[in-house]
Structure 1
Amino acid sequence: MAPPNAPPAQLSLNNGLMLKLKTSRIFKTAVDNPSVSPGRPSLGPRHITGICFDDRGDQLLTAAEDETFRLYNCKSGKHLKTLQSKKYGIDLPRFTHKSTAIIHASTKEDDGIRYHSLHDNKYLSYFKGHKGRVISLEVSPVDDGFMSGSLDKTVRLWDLRAPTCRGLLTLPAPPVIAYDATGLVFAVAVNHYSRILLYDSANYDKAPFLVITLEDPTLTLISYPPRPIYVTSLSFSSSGKYLLVGCSGDAHYILDAFNGHLVAKLEGHIGLERRSVAAPLTIQPDKGCSGEEVSWTPDSKFIVGGSLDGKILAWDVQDLQVPTGPVNLKATPRQIHPLVQLDGHPGISRCVKFNPRYGMLASAGAELAFWLPDMAPESEEVARDLLRKKVLA
């Protein structure tokens, strides 16, 4: 037995562990579906549209199309409580640095951002100013700041302690946003212009210090003119060296965040933009996209993602090679195929995230699933032990 003051054991993610991921708990009633009246067709199941972990990885929160948000304990695998937001709706739930408070976007009534206490189920503050639905929302990793991107083609920078925004960027198209791990840099993807802008957080009112053009020459082999890339999410690797660009189509991309090189193209999944596997492709993503369908593991050794057919995929990105010299937009990117494709819960896997501290994965669509490496199927104690080990970043 470890001494009482010993640091927690650490778990190093590797190919073997990723191959052994299995569902340890499936919540089939994670979303409420309306009863179908006789003679009235069903509109299909409602879905979870967003998930997030708290900083310690102890709790997971979901937001769904039934206008509820639900809290789960990651260690016990139990549902803790269900809260409702029938008046305003809820999307893009994000824990603040307190595990008892969140911010979230609204889906009706107005386009405000709401600061909510999970402890007593009360709104603490409102952040108003956007004139269109908020489609991207991120909390600073280091302080009480956060930022939002909206269909009104603006990025607003906020502080939890003040109801009015402290910074505003006006852009030519709806933006998608991300902080790096230090909070010193943030990225803004501008759709329809295939540009990703990197800003110094302390000098956001000045021009971006790097403008990256996202261009994939292999798309001309599929159609001409090539189909536009539509970005749904951005996230930096833990080192800040790479930028993961989640897209609505059948590929995601990894960029060099220092110089703008296109490093790799992730393939093997079916893009969530399609209404069905056989449906024609569209440019603007359908409602099936959550902006959370692809993400890094906490050590940035792997990328996990969802697919229209419900599979959970993991890509091994441990040996990325950054091109040298000037950026060449005509260079063919390295194509990376999944290390593993896992069969999970039925239906679309809209949200896929790895726990920031422990060796577990969560995925969501019409259901919510918790995943653990299946080291010893007959032993529940092994599963509990995995959740006591922090991922070695």
Structure 2
Amino acid sequence: MAPATNNGAPAVQLSLNNGLMLKLKPSRIFKSAVDNPAASPGRPNTGPRHITGISFDDRGDQLLTAAEDETFRLYNCKSGKHLKTLQSKKYGIDLPRFTHKSTAIIHASTKEDDGIRYHSLHDNKYLSYFKGHKGRVISLEMSPIDDGFMSGSLDKTVRLWDLRVPTCRGLLTLPAPPVIAYDASGLVFAVAVNNYSRILLYDQANYDKAPFLVITLEDPTLSLISYPPRPIYMTSLSFSSNGKYLLVGCSGDAHYILDAFGGHLIAKLEGHVGLERRSTAASLTIQPDKGCSGEEVSWTPDSKFIVGGSLDGKILIWDVQDLQVPAGPVNLKATPRQIHPIVAHDGHPGISRCVKFNPRYGMMASAGAELAFWLPDMAPESDEVARDLLKKKGP
């Protein structure tokens, strides 16, 4: 992996390791990445608007953001410059996803209808519309290998699409709103079903058949905190690059890593503050409105680390290089291994809602009310700081 540079110097090949991840620092912060309306007597103060989704193109050269101000903005990852701002005032925008062309994206709508829109960044025009959902799209992913893509909606369906055809080519009906993910081969996809704590794995070629694996996500440690245990609310799914593991992002104070082959619960990631907390007269609920969570946790491209955001703005990094899959049949009462972050970096003010690592370069992006680009600080004094942090964390 080559680090991003903004001084024209040749990129140097490097691999991600603990020392490098400890030395990540914001190299550029875009404080005006979201438009906030000026305060007025007739407009209540609802807090700052946020970026709700980010996407890198396949080459890692560009980053696209979508925000609550109904804009999407394009940035150059090498130069660290803002390239253009486009608007979607009529339809709104959420879940931006580059296609395999760096000049075209798909995105979900937040108003007008529940359609998915195919947009040319070069011409600033819509190329096609994909209609069929009867509820807001809350999960959207491009196939890693072709022009297929998949969407999950509040209407409790998953639809399979192709960019070249406006009608859907596959439909799954589920008992609750789904969250979706492709594996790196594009041959398998996963569907998380909230309220039932189930993750269903399908063969892409036989999606109309029963899932070939059904995983139950159950954390026995939650009953030690409250009884009955607070339900797990899944907001994102993502496979590791080798397809062995499945990262389950959740709205509470823990994320989970599952064995994608056998369904074992391998690890519980802790140390962050869950993004979605709303106090009610009866209790504390953790059930987010999509667009406010779901992109706060992700793998690095080599799957050696997981990066994530937090309600307090911290950027956390978990080392997951030595995951061990339990032997024998799945035991839902087995206590998962608890993994704490090797570091909690100071990020930007407010909530860090989106955190992703560049697929090709040694840079990371985090977003909330602001957008930050992160690079490893290669100064000699940063090596001493990294060594001190590693000593504190232990082996």
CA-to-partner distance for each residue in 1:92-149, whole Å, 9 max, x for gaps?
Answer: 0000000000000000000000000000100000000000000000000000000000
1:247–1:309 distance in 2 versus 1, CA, 3 Å: same
1:82–1:319 distance in 2 versus 1, CA, 3 Å: same
Question: Is 1:358–1:389's contact at 8 Å kept on the other side of the alignment?
Answer: no
Which structure 2 residues correspond to residues 244-323 of structure 1 after superposition, within 5 A? 244-275=247-278, 281-286=284-289, 289-323=292-326
1:11–1:172 distance in 2 versus 1, CA, 3 Å: same
Question: Which blocks of at least 5 consecutive residues in structure 2 are unaligned?
Answer: none
Q: What's the CA shift for 1:7?
A: 12
CA-to-partner distance for each residue in 1:247-290, whole Å, 9 max, x for gaps?
Answer: 00000000000000000000000000115999963141256732
1:128–1:250 distance in 2 versus 1, CA, 3 Å: same
1:337–1:117 distance in 2 versus 1, CA, 3 Å: same
The CA distance in 1 between the partners of 2:110 and 2:330, in whole Å, is 40
1:386–1:59 distance in 2 versus 1, CA, 3 Å: farther
1:70–1:288 distance in 2 versus 1, CA, 3 Å: closer
The CA distance in 2 between the partners of 1:115 and 1:317, in whole Å, is 36
Moved more, 271-280 or 188-197: 271-280
Q: What's the CA shift for 1:43?
A: 1.1
1:8–1:360 distance in 2 versus 1, CA, 3 Å: closer
Moved more, 224-233 or 36-45: 36-45
Count of matched residue positions in the alignment of Structure 1 and Structure 2: 390
Question: Is 2:2–2:11's contact at 8 Å kept on the other side of the alignment?
Answer: no
1:81–1:133 distance in 2 versus 1, CA, 3 Å: same
Question: Is 2:277–2:286's contact at 8 Å kept on the other side of the alignment?
Answer: no
1:250–1:329 distance in 2 versus 1, CA, 3 Å: same
1:77–1:319 distance in 2 versus 1, CA, 3 Å: same
Q: What's the CA shift for 1:38?
A: 3.7
Q: What's the CA shift for 1:198?
A: 0.1
CA-to-partner distance for each residue in 1:7-26, whole Å, 9 max, x for gaps?
Answer: 97421000000000000000
The CA distance in 1 between the partners of 2:15 and 2:125, in whole Å, is 39
The CA distance in 2 between the partners of 1:208 and 1:250, in whole Å, is 29
The CA distance in 2 between the partners of 1:239 and 1:43, in whole Å, is 42
SS where residue 62 of structure 1 aligns?
Answer: strand
1:377–1:276 distance in 2 versus 1, CA, 3 Å: farther
RMSD between aligned residues: 4.7
Q: Which residue of structure 1 lines up, in the alignment, with residue 348 of structure 2?
A: 345
The CA distance in 1 between the partners of 2:128 and 2:246, in whole Å, is 32
1:336–1:387 distance in 2 versus 1, CA, 3 Å: closer
Question: Is 1:273–1:281's contact at 8 Å kept on the other side of the alignment?
Answer: no
TM value normalised by structure 1: 0.93
TM value normalised by structure 2: 0.92
The CA distance in 2 between the partners of 1:128 and 1:387, in whole Å, is 51
CA-to-partner distance for each residue in 1:181-214, whole Å, 9 max, x for gaps?
Answer: 0000000000000000000000000000000000
1:205–1:325 distance in 2 versus 1, CA, 3 Å: same
The CA distance in 2 between the partners of 1:184 and 1:366, in whole Å, is 36
SS where residue 386 of structure 2 aligns?
Answer: helix
Question: Which blocks of at least 5 consecutive residues in structure 1 are unaligned?
Answer: none
